[in-house]
Each structure stands twice: as C-alpha cells, then as structure tokens.
Chains A and B, each alone.
Chain A
Amino acid sequence: MATVTVDTAPIERLKETWEGKGGLWGWLTTVDHKKIGKLYLATSVVFLLIGGVEAGIMRAQLAWSNLRILSPGVYDQLFSLHGMTMIFWYASPILSGFSNYIWPLLIGSRDMAYPRANALSYWLFLMSGVFLYTSPFLGQAPNAGWFAYVPFTLKPFNPGLNMDFYALGLLFLTVSATVGSIVFIGTIMKMRATGMTLTRLPIFMYGTMTASFANLFALPALTTALVFLYFERTFHMPFYAVGGGGRPLLWQHLFWMFAHPWVYIIVLPAMGIVSEVIPVFSRRPLVGYPIVAMSTVATGIIGFGVWLHHMFATGLPNLSLAFFSGASTLIVIPSGIAVFSWIATMWTGRPVFKTAMLFAAGFVALFVLGGVSGVVTAMVAYDWQVTDSYFVVAHLHYVLIGINVFGVMTGFYYWFPKMTGRLLNETLGKLNFWVMFIGVNVAFFPMHITGILGMERRIYTYPAGLGWSVPNLITTIGAYIFAAGFFLFLVNVWYSLRAGEVAGPNPWDAGTLEWSVPSPAPAYNFAVLPTVRSGYPLWEGRLLRRGRPPAAAPSPALARTPDAVGARAPDMAPDGSLVFRGPLLLDGKETFATSPLDAEPMSVLRMPEDSLLPLLLSLFMLAFFYGAVFKLWWLVAAGAGAMLLTIVAWTWPRSMEGGSVA
C-alpha cells in the first residue's frame, strides 16, 4: 500500500463539501454519482427478479404438452412483460448503474457531468417502471410481445389499455435513456483526468460512449413509432392501418431501426466491463487495445445498418434482403476482433481464475455460441426456416444472458469491493458461477432444437406427440437451475456485506484509477485530481521494467499546477502518471472540465448541491403519463405545466464567484 503522508485538514474540508445528507432524504435528493449508481443497480436487479419470476411461471406452463396452468391471455401478458422488463428495465439500466458508479472513479473525476440530470435519468427510469407495472394490477398489461407488431396492437384488435401502457411506458423510459446518454457523453467529453487522451481511455468507456451515441440516434425511431401507435389508438390517425393509407410495415421499420442498435446498446458496455476485467486477471494489458476500441465504435455504427434482418420474412425485395444479410454478417468482424483480443489476453497472460474472471470467461464462451446462432440467422435462407421459432428465442437468450447478464456478474464480482469495501465470497462465487453457467446452457441449448423441430415462439401450450415435450422439460429444469444460481449471488451479496473479507483500496492489484482510492470510494472520490500518462496508471512502473514504456511527456497543465498533497504510488514510472499528487480544488464542489481530445484542463467546474428537483420532475412526468393513458387531459396539462415550472427553477442562474453562471 502507498504510504501517503497527508495533511488531513484538506481531506476534512473535502468531506464536508462533498458528503450529502444521510438517511432517506439524502437518497431522494442525491446528485452523487455513487449513490445514483447504487440506486440504478439495486432497481435494475429488482426488475431482473420480477422478469425472472415471470419467466419462471411461463416455464412451468411450457414444461409439458397440454398444460393449462395459465390462460392464453395471461400468458400473453407475461411474455410481453418479461421481454419488456428484461430488455428495457433491466439490461440497459443495470449497465448505466455500473457506468454511474465507476466512470468518474475510472477517469479521475469527482463527479459526472450534469449531476442533477444524472439523478433525473434515474428517477425517470424508476417512475417509468412504476408506470409500466401499474398495468398488471389493472389486468391490462401489454400483451403483444416486446416488439408489438401492428395491426394486432391497434385499437380494433386490442381494445384495452394494454398497448397504451406499452406505448407510453416505453416513451417514458426513452426520456430517461436520452437524459442518461447525454450525461454519459458530456462526462466522457469533459470530465476526464488531465492527460487521459482518447488513446488512454478504458474500453468500458468506449462501450458506454458508443451505446450512448447510439441511443441519441436510435431512440427517436422508437419515439416516432410509439407516438404514431398512441395517436392511432387514441385519435384514429391512420399511420399503420391500411384503410386510411397507412402501412403495417412502417411499424416494423421504425421499431427495428431502433431495436437493432438497442441490442448493441445493451451489450457494448458489458463487453467493456469484460475488457477491463480480463486484463486484470490475466496480469497484462489488453491485447490490441486500439483495434478493440475501434471495433466497439464500428459495431455501434454497423448496428444502424442491419435492422432489416428482423424482417426477412415480410416479403421485401430480394436485393434489399441480400444487402442487409451482407451487412449483418459484417458484424462478425468487430465482434470477432473483441473475442480474439480477450482470448489472446488470457493466452499470453497468466490467468488467475477468481470468480470475476470465471464470469468473464463464461461471457466469452456464451458470446461465441450466441454469435454463431446469430450469424446463421443473418443468412436469409436459414432465417426463413427458423424465424419466429424457438431457435430465435434460444439465440437471443444466449446473447442477452451471455453478453449482458454474465458481463454484469463479472462487473459485480470485480467492483463490489470498490462499492462496499468488502469482497464477495469466492467459494460461494464459484458455486454461483457454475450453477448459472450450467443452468443457462441446460435451459437454452435445447431451445435451438425445439425451434428446429418447429415450435413457434409465444404459443401458450402445445399438443403431445410433436417431440417438443422433452426438450421443453429440460429447458424448464435448466431455467430453474439458472434461477437458483442467481439466488446464490443474492445470498453472497447478503453474506459478504456483513462478513465479507475487507478489501482495501486495490484487492485485485488492478491498473486503473478507481483502485487508487479507498474502498468504498469517499464522497469526493479523489483527494487530489490525478494526471494520467498511460492506460494503466497503477501498472506503469512494472510495465516500464518489462520494456513497455508508457507514453510520458510533461504536461503544460501540470506545470501550472505545482501544488500537491500525498506521494507517488510505489509502482509508478518516474515521468508517468501522478495519482497521489495533484491539484486539490477545494473551494466548493470543484473538479476540472477538460478538453474533449487531449484532456487538458479548460476550466474548474462548480458542481451543484443535492436537489429534490429531479425527483419532482419525474413525479410530474409520471402524472403526465397517467393522464395520457387514462385520457385525463387536465392531468396531462397539469403535469406538463408543473414540469415546465420545475425546469425553470432548475435552470435558474446560480450565483458564482466572479459573476453568475447562466
């Protein structure tokens, strides 16, 4: 451990400045990225459990032929809620949770850009979930699957409030995702430590940044589709109905223009997590860092040009099928680069198989399996055979569990000590991994076969004698094994929070900045703002000894900031990063804003104090959406007016040293 000789007075002052209020009020008003991150993580896990229970009930219904545990109508609502919950209210928000907690620590900042907007994105996420889950209590949950094809979702065929909850619930969530994305992009552009150029940026940052940009340009397609759906259902405006000149395929185009990029939005940050973890447990830097960074961005971009592969069976012209089949196959290249980079990192390193590394390795294995079933469905001829069958269900679960859930588990085992100060138990952890890994394969591998045998997705039961019963029973058993595995994780969290081994600042001997601060991270994150000269600041000394010099050049900004507290870390290069020396910035909640490319300090930011406004704004938006779903137009108007006033109060100029900031 570094022997840090510190004058404690500045630390006390930082604590005073940055620590928000405790208790419930503190949580409701917090703008601290670490608290917001924890709220995001906890809420997403709750949604994961809800979605899991829904899946468990469905698997009971499908365990054998001709079962009648559920009525068809209830089954429809269950699979729709399951899909929406997992894809929208778990998979993306949980990654936002990690990004929120970890990013400022990873990039040497004291907070995210726009802390209040950051809190807003969480409260909007929570409220949109509350909105969606009002519907099952009315018996009118969405009932047309997560992609809700028209015309079945139009009023004449689906007269209840079910699909209004779908349209407005998702619309609500897109607001949260948009706000969150702008916060992430602002943070990555302006909040990085001095010297953290784009070539020193951790891959996790690239993952979430690509996902955030994709959100900005993909979510509006969903917004358009949902607004049309709601308008058509409510005001009879013919966007989709053929009678008035609408076209049902418009929905599919808009939906998949959004939803295919969304697939990468919910996996790229998880791929980033794994790209952080594999080098640490292979005891070497990531192999091929620049091309992994580039393929991350490339995946995000190509993801916008493949949406038609979800529509191969809709009778589109052959030429467009050929083009989109080719484009979809192209995704193999950046994905392959990432996979080979992870394998090469393990191969040329000295792998240490802690639980986090096991989950990362499992992630790679499942990614390959899910990837292969994805490549074959990019082939038009094969897709026609398996479209809307359980083969597709198997593929998407391999992908989403493999490269989302396993990435998330990797992140939990890796960063839990940073968040709580204690390590998750390794014995329970290994058991946790193996039960989940066996469970996911037992559950979803047979689904490929049920699909090839012709079982369509979304049927609530099936007759005997088709050969579907046995594979379905195996799937059900596997699903419960998987659930038991996740339960072990919850047990581990519960146990380790109380009795886990105390972690210390850097239990994994990792190389990135978040491990230079105490665990759990203090409210102000960094006592002194670090200056970075390589991608692994804490590994520089030993990398130098191994003949891999980190790029080291004295920074002009550093010359301007001679003041320091603390000492150099023991394992740092002489001209390398400065992690325990640097500017204090303690005249208020201060941190640097740096330039987007070179990360040179441009100004000192004064971050806002805790505020109730984000929560209030979210509550008003909840009222607005309840008004819209129940057609209470006065409530819509009142909600909108209250939101407007809140925003005015929010943006009201704060007075600052040397004038007011507007």
Chain B
Amino acid sequence: MSTTAAHAAVLPIGNRFRRSPGWWAMVWIIATEAALFAYLLFSYYYLASQFRGPWPPDGFESFTLSAPMTAILFASSGVMWWAERGIKKGNQMQLRIGLLITFLMGLAFAILEGIEWSQKSFTPASHAYGALFFTVTGFHLTHVTVGLTMNLVVQIWAWMGTFTEERHLAVTNAALYWHFVDTVWAFVFFSFYIAPRIG
C-alpha cells in the first residue's frame, strides 16, 4: 500500500546500521563481560595483597611464550579491522581472507596458551596464585574460543556471500567482540606477567 511504501522510501529496514539494536546488544554483552574481568582481576589483586610470601610463589612468569602470544593476538585485531574495512567497501575477498587470517592467528594464540599451561610448575590446586592464574587465563581462553567460533560462523556466511557493503552487522559485531577479547588480554597479561615484577 502507498502508506508503507512511503516509509520504506524514507527509513531503512532492519538492523542495518551501527547503533542499530543488534549492535547495541553486542555493546552491552561486552560491557557485562568487561565487568566480569574487572571482578576477576579485583580478586587477583585482593588475594595478592593478602598473600604471605613471594607473589607469584613459584617465581615470575616467563615472557618466552607469552610475548609472542600477545603480539599475535594484538596483530590479529589489526587484521580483523582490515577485514571489516573490506566489506565496508564491498570487497568480499578482503573480508574472507581477513577473517581467515584472524582465525588462524587466534588459533595460534590458543595453541601457544595450551603449551604455556602444560609447562607450569604449579597446578590450579597448588595455591591461590595457581587457582587465579588458571581461572583468569582460562576465562580469557574461553572468550578467545567464543570469538573464534563467531569468526568461523561469520566466515561461513562470508563465503556464502551473505554480506553486502550496507548489511554486515554480524561482521561488525564479531569484530567488536574480537577487539574486546584482545583488549582484555592486555589487562590479564599486565596483571600476571608484568605487575608482580614492578609491585
């Protein structure tokens, strides 16, 4: 009917833009997840401040694996940004390749983290530090896994040709989540690997 046709001419249909309801949902999911890490790290600093003896009890964490891990993860955020920029310009290949590289870099981070875990001299049950180390890095790794899963699903859609220059909210949201996962790692990395050295 003419009435609705008039609207369609003026207003876009659906979750098309940034700041659409779907985008805001991701923002608030990230906000509450960020709060979760804030409380986890509060617990870390609280128990560290109350701990008797050296912190960490088994000596400082090594940078051998953690430094390259961190570099890979931060760099992957740049690749994700490049991928999103691709679809904004309508470049399907840039999107697909970018997502694929991001996925592989995230996977590399997860594998290195697994190796790092297996080399620890303590277990989650050894002491409060061990419990915190495995819980907080474990929570982060879970978030990496969620981010990788999102990436995988979005990649399937990208190879199906679902996205267009104008409609690619899933890409935007997956990218936003991935940047969040990387930002949180900065706090986790600082708390476990750097703070004890300067504290």
**Are A and B co-members of a single complex?**
yes
Summarize B's interface: helix, strand, loop or mixed: helix
Decide if A245 touches B3 in the complex (CB within 8 Å). no
- Tell me the chain B residues, 1-53 only, with Cβ under 8 Å from chain A: 1-4, 6-8, 10-17, 19-21, 24-25, 28-29, 31-33, 35-36, 38-40, 42-43, 46-47, 50-52
The answer to the question of B140 belonging to the interface, with a C-beta cut-off of 8 Å to chain A, is no
| Interface residues on chain B, number (Cβ under 8 Å) | 61
Decide if B168 touches A239 in the complex (CB within 8 Å). no
Q: How many residue pairs bridge A and B at CB < 8 Å?
A: 181
The answer to the question of A78 belonging to the interface, with a C-beta cut-off of 8 Å to chain B, is no
The answer to the question of A157 belonging to the interface, with a C-beta cut-off of 8 Å to chain B, is no
Question: What B residues does A185 contact at CB under 8 A?
Answer: 24, 28
Question: What A residues does B149 contact at CB under 8 A?
Answer: 644
Decide if B17 touches A239 in the complex (CB within 8 Å). no
Summarize A's interface: helix, strand, loop or mixed: mixed
Decide if A659 touches B24 in the complex (CB within 8 Å). no
Decide if B29 touches A182 in the complex (CB within 8 Å). yes
- Tell me the chain A residues, 201-235 only, with Cβ under 8 Å from chain B: 216-217, 219-221, 223-224, 227-228, 231-232, 235
User: What's the nearest-Cβ distance from chain A to residue B88, in Å?
Assistant: 14
Alpha-carbon gap, A237 to B50, bound state (A): 17
Which chain B residue shows the least CB distance to A185? B28
Alpha-carbon gap, A660 to B163, bound state (A): 8
Question: What B residues does A662 contact at CB under 8 A?
Answer: 157, 162-163, 167-171
User: What's the nearest-Cβ distance from chain B to residue A186, in Å?
Assistant: 5
Which chain B residue shows the least CB distance to A10? B1
Q: Mark A169-206, 1 if CB is under 8 A from B, else 0.
A: 00000000010011001100111000000000000000
Decide if A244 touches B13 in the complex (CB within 8 Å). no
User: What's the nearest-Cβ distance from chain A to residue B188, in Å?
Assistant: 14
Q: Mark A260-291, 1 if CB is under 8 A from B, else 0.
A: 00000000000000000000000000000000
Alpha-carbon gap, A596 to B15, bound state (A): 15
Question: What A residues does B7 contact at CB under 8 A?
Answer: 561, 583, 585, 604
- Tell me the chain A residues, 584-601 only, with Cβ under 8 Å from chain B: 584-587, 590, 592-593, 596, 601
Decide if A224 touches B163 in the complex (CB within 8 Å). no
Decide if B167 touches A659 in the complex (CB within 8 Å). yes
Alpha-carbon gap, A186 to B29, bound state (A): 11
Question: What A residues does B35 contact at CB under 8 A?
Answer: 216-217, 220-221
Alpha-carbon gap, A575 to B187, bound state (A): 54
Question: What B residues does A601 contact at CB under 8 A?
Answer: 11
Alpha-carbon gap, A14 to B79, bound state (A): 46
Decide if B162 touches A190 in the complex (CB within 8 Å). no
Q: A584-B3, A648-B153, A661-B169 are in contact. Are A604 and B13 (CB under 8 A)?
A: yes
Alpha-carbon gap, A152 to B40, bound state (A): 22
Decide if A246 touches B40 in the complex (CB within 8 Å). no
Q: A237-B131, A604-B12, A606-B13 are in contact. Are A586 and B31 (CB under 8 A)?
A: no
Q: A185-B24, A220-B36, A250-B47 are in contact. Are A603 and B131 (CB under 8 A)?
A: no
Decide if A244 touches B127 in the complex (CB within 8 Å). yes
The answer to the question of B164 belonging to the interface, with a C-beta cut-off of 8 Å to chain A, is yes
Question: What B residues does A590 contact at CB under 8 A?
Answer: 4
Partner of B50, one of A247, A586, A604: A247
Question: What A residues does B125 contact at CB under 8 A?
Answer: 235-238, 244
Q: A238-B125, A245-B51, A585-B4 are in contact. Are A604 and B11 (CB under 8 A)?
A: yes
User: What's the nearest-Cβ distance from chain B to residue A500, in Å?
Assistant: 37
Alpha-carbon gap, A596 to B128, bound state (A): 44
The answer to the question of A651 belonging to the interface, with a C-beta cut-off of 8 Å to chain B, is yes
Alpha-carbon gap, A300 to B119, bound state (A): 45
Question: What A residues does B2 contact at CB under 8 A?
Answer: 563
Alpha-carbon gap, A499 to B155, bound state (A): 58
The answer to the question of B183 belonging to the interface, with a C-beta cut-off of 8 Å to chain A, is no
Q: A185-B28, A603-B12 are in contact. Are A659 and B164 (CB under 8 A)?
A: yes
Q: A239-B128, A653-B157, A659-B166 are in contact. Are A603 and B47 (CB under 8 A)?
A: no
The answer to the question of B114 belonging to the interface, with a C-beta cut-off of 8 Å to chain A, is no
The answer to the question of A257 belonging to the interface, with a C-beta cut-off of 8 Å to chain B, is yes
The answer to the question of A657 belonging to the interface, with a C-beta cut-off of 8 Å to chain B, is yes
The answer to the question of B129 belonging to the interface, with a C-beta cut-off of 8 Å to chain A, is yes
User: What's the nearest-Cβ distance from chain A to residue B193, in Å?
Assistant: 19
Decide if A651 touches B24 in the complex (CB within 8 Å). no
Alpha-carbon gap, A253 to B132, bound state (A): 16
Partner of A237, one of B12, B135, B163, B168: B135
- Tell me the chain B residues, 141-194 only, with Cβ under 8 Å from chain A: 149, 153, 157, 162-164, 166-171
The answer to the question of A308 belonging to the interface, with a C-beta cut-off of 8 Å to chain B, is no
User: What's the nearest-Cβ distance from chain A to residue B137, in Å?
Assistant: 13
Decide if A224 touches B31 in the complex (CB within 8 Å). no
Decide if B13 touches A658 in the complex (CB within 8 Å). yes
The answer to the question of A254 belonging to the interface, with a C-beta cut-off of 8 Å to chain B, is yes
Alpha-carbon gap, A237 to B166, bound state (A): 49
Question: What B residues does A253 contact at CB under 8 A?
Answer: 46
Alpha-carbon gap, A30 to B38, bound state (A): 36
Question: What A residues does B118 contact at CB under 8 A?
Answer: none
Decide if B31 touches A216 in the complex (CB within 8 Å). yes
Decide if A245 touches B47 in the complex (CB within 8 Å). yes
Decide if A563 touches B6 in the complex (CB within 8 Å). yes
The answer to the question of B126 belonging to the interface, with a C-beta cut-off of 8 Å to chain A, is yes
Decide if A224 touches B39 in the complex (CB within 8 Å). yes
Decide if B128 touches A245 in the complex (CB within 8 Å). yes
Decide if A593 touches B157 in the complex (CB within 8 Å). no
Residues of A with Cβ closer than 8 Å to B? 113-114, 117, 178, 181-182, 185-186, 189-191, 216-217, 219-221, 223-224, 227-228, 231-232, 235-239, 244-247, 250, 253-254, 257, 560-563, 583-587, 590, 592-593, 596, 601-606, 644, 648, 651, 653, 656-662
Can you list 27 A-B pairs with a CB-CB distance of less than 8 A? Answer: A114-B21, A190-B21, A190-B24, A216-B35, A220-B36, A228-B43, A231-B124, A237-B125, A238-B131, A239-B128, A244-B126, A244-B127, A244-B131, A245-B57, A246-B47, A246-B131, A247-B47, A254-B39, A562-B6, A563-B6, A602-B11, A602-B12, A603-B13, A605-B15, A659-B167, A661-B15, A661-B169
Given contacts A228-B135, A247-B46, 17 further A-B pairs with CB under 8 A are A190-B21, A219-B32, A231-B135, A235-B124, A235-B125, A237-B135, A238-B125, A244-B125, A584-B4, A604-B14, A606-B13, A651-B153, A657-B8, A661-B16, A661-B169, A662-B167, A662-B171
The 4 closest A-B pairs by CB, nearest first: A245-B128, A237-B131, A563-B3, A220-B36
